[in-house]
Structure 1
């Protein structure tokens, strides 16, 4: 039973790594055609959750792309080495939790810093392309007191959370934070022009 479970986890992990790299490559090839962001100010006004880094241009020469590109090969080598150890020993019977933990550490180590681009025919959000026809709605929220993001980074405070709902997708993509209202208005105007509807959510107060 543990062998079947680990086999399923292993195949799923390999699929995830390969697909993630292919999605990022497609994003890097498409990003130069983006209509937004274009200027340095527009890039710096987009914050990526987690480390709250400013967004950077994406292409095949960018540092973050090369880290994921070559890191994927390293991760695959480590995963197959781990599989070899599991097959050659009784680790799976005695150390299943530890093996699974190592497996997920390797997977989570290969992550792009994130991105958001509006293209002529869709958007790129965190290395994944979504055509406008697949976007059900976009949602915006002002990051003020009582908002879940308020206080995590001073640059995000009083900014705007921008998220998307994708049709027929259980796990929704992550969000970005737009620092300034002028930028948010430009983004939403571009989306509305492409037929994407939006919802402005109110922040619940305690």
Structure 2
């Protein structure tokens, strides 16, 4: 009985997460129409996304990634509902608790949009979520040179720039992105500075893991 209640709570939390995630992506797609960067193909291709290091794509409702989230959310909700019915109607949960929880996590985590970074006039869209300028504590830039954790993982990463954003009151910060082109990076820095978002630039030396820091205000 207690296990059934716990799983029901997990179900409610999971459904809430999936619905909010889909709505978040929808809002981001609407806002991305007013993006300042990136706009052209070269700007999109200059941004690489972990972990597969694919080039960034536009965030639009007709893209495969958006449609995957849209229809994947519906399918996931159906699967979770069926799973809940099986758990409540049978004693499967009692004998296979870990398997049920694992299946639950797999369904939830499978609905994920590709990463992205859009700079707007009053904030950014990072990995499908909008953050206003005052929500961003700072951004950090690290040049990917020898001894950097990303150096050598892909030839395109070498001597590129890792950009990470620190979000206020965010327990699990969004993933970083990598910018290949220094000119486009300067353009991004200028747009962020215009919003008053502070930045830290770290250039790691080839023979040392200690970087030089420059704070932008």
Specify the SS of the correspondent of 1:158: coil
Specify the SS of the correspondent of 2:148: coil
Decide whether the 8 Å contact of 2:140 with 2:199 is kept in 1: yes
Residue 106 in structure 1 maps to residue 107 in structure 2: yes
Structure 1 runs of 4+ aligned residues shifted over 4 Å read: none
Aligned to 1:142: 143
What do residues 88-122 of structure 1 show as CA deviations (whole Å, max 9, x unaligned)? Answer: 11121111110011111111111111111001111
Aligned to 1:68: 69
- Displacement of 1:5 in angstroms is 2.8
Specify the SS of the correspondent of 1:200: strand
- Displacement of 1:178 in angstroms is 0.5
RMSD over aligned CA atoms reads: 1.4
- The 5 A counterparts of 1:56-95 are 56-95=57-96
Stretches of structure 2 lacking an aligned partner (at least 5 in a row): 211-217
Aligned to 1:9: 10
Q: Give the TM-score normalised by structure 2.
A: 0.90
What do residues 10-49 of structure 1 show as CA deviations (whole Å, max 9, x unaligned)? Answer: 2221111111100000011111110000111000000111
Specify the SS of the correspondent of 2:162: strand
Stretches of structure 1 lacking an aligned partner (at least 5 in a row): none
Aligned to 1:194: 195
Q: Give the TM-score normalised by structure 1.
A: 0.95
